[in-house]
């Protein structure tokens, strides 16, 4: 089975722009979660999608949004980028809605740099 695929691997954007990141979960997995990882804040939960519905949202401003398609692929969008949005964005999939007694399967992330 192919793993979780995130594209692009690297992105460089300027302040004020917007960006869209993509995540393809493991085949058969219906839950996709997004995390932001920075050296200062560690891994912070952004949101989770299950069966095309946002199930849970972390403490991030409305500039961060996402969606999930019928094939379980997910995208997250960040508008009006700020320097502090520079981070590694990780996507993780799971067969069922989180949390449950099963592990998350992570992609290798998208490294976003905002200049």
Partner 1 sequence: SQQGEEDPQALSIQEGENATMNCSYKTSINNLQWYRQNSGRGLVHLILIRSNEREKHSGRLRVTLDTSKKSSSLLITASRAADTASYFCATDPDDGAQKLVFGQGTRLTINP
- Where on the chain is the footprint of partner 1 (CB under 8 A)? 4, 33, 35, 42-43, 45, 48, 55-56, 58, 88, 90, 92, 98-99, 101-109, 111
HSE, side-chain direction, 13 A CA sphere, residue 87:
23
Of 30 and 105, which CB lies nearer to partner 1 in the complex structure? 105
Of 107 and 114, which CB lies nearer to partner 1 in the complex structure? 107
Of 66 and 107, which CB lies nearer to partner 1 in the complex structure? 107
């Amino acid at each position: 089975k192919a793993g979780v695929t995130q594209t692009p691997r690297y992105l460089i954007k300027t302040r004020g722009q917007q960006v869209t990141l993509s995540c393809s979960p493991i085949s058969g997995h219906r839950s996709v979660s997004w995390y932001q990882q920075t050296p200062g804040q560690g891994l912070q939960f952004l949101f989770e999608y299950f069966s095309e519905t946002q199930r849970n949202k972390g403490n991030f401003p409305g500039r961060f949004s996402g969606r999930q398609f019928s094939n379980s692929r997910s995208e997250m969008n960040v508008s009006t980028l700020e320097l502090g949005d520079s981070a590694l964005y990780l996507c993780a999939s799971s067969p069922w809605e989180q949390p449950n007694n099963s592990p998350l399967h992570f992609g290798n992330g998208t490294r976003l740099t905002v200049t």
